[in-house]
Amino acid sequence: MTQLPRTPSFRLEGKRALVTGAGRGLGLACAAALADAGASVTLAARTAQEVEEAAAAIRTGGGTAAALVLDVLDVAAAQRAIAAAEPFDILVNNAGTNRPRSFTDVSVEDYDAVLDLNLKAAVFVAQAVASGMIAAGRGGSIIHMGSQMGHVGGANRSLYCASKWALEGLSKAMAIDLAPHRIRSNTIAPTFIETPMTRPFFEDAAFRDSVLAKIKLGRLGTVEDVMGAVVFLASPAAALVTGTSLVVDGGWTAD
């Protein structure tokens, strides 16, 4: 009798996940997706009310979630908080920002704001979580929220592109360093997603039209478009996937 292979599980029961920037938008969607898949999720963000309400909403929906008020820009405090927690099996390194400016208008303050949050904080949150994973000895999955702008350039996005290209390189190098510990490192690279942070930009009809002209599938992304990618990379279904980028861009980077 033919023995059929079994599809690996996408379920995450028994796994602990940390999601940064989890109070709203993509971060909240990632946390909800992981909780739906069975993970116990810790939602981290600076704003206490926002992250506590988000965690409560997940619990109301039947998931397991806790809030952690955390400013990832305070590297020492973030590392202490992560070290004090039980080890995590999954990290979604999601906290990020953007300051769209023409390159000639970029200021030192802009540079610090974008690179400190999008790159520096991501490095040291990941380091703290990876250290806990190594000590626990059960492997893990680190998922960085990259962007299609980590694969291409874009007008008025010199700093954002710099941070997201750097995140791609970081993730690949982490994948090599952490592979002996069975810890995987990948990025998700979405196109423009409608979130509270991005919605004001789309009120400019010319900008919206220019974006839609490049997305081959003809629509803006939604947070739901990213949720499946997060669950896949966190799950046993992606057991051999590390050091790569899952590009969720509607075909933007296809040409």
The four Cα atoms 52, 56, 58, 61 give a dihedral, to 10 degrees, of -170
Structure token digits, residue 204 = 């400019």
The gap between the terminal CA atoms of the chain, to the nearest Å, is: 46
Going by the DSSP 8-state scheme, the letter that residue 239 receives in this structure is T
What type of residue is 85?
Answer: A
In the block, tokens 């898949």 appear at 37
Nearest to 131 by CA among 94, 85, 172: 85
In the block, tokens 């952490």 appear at 178
SS3 6: coil
Give catalytic residue positions: 160
* Beta-sheet strand order (sheet of 90-93): 64-69, 40-45, 16-20, 90-93, 140-145, 183-190, 245-248
Structure token digits, residue 56 = 């409560």
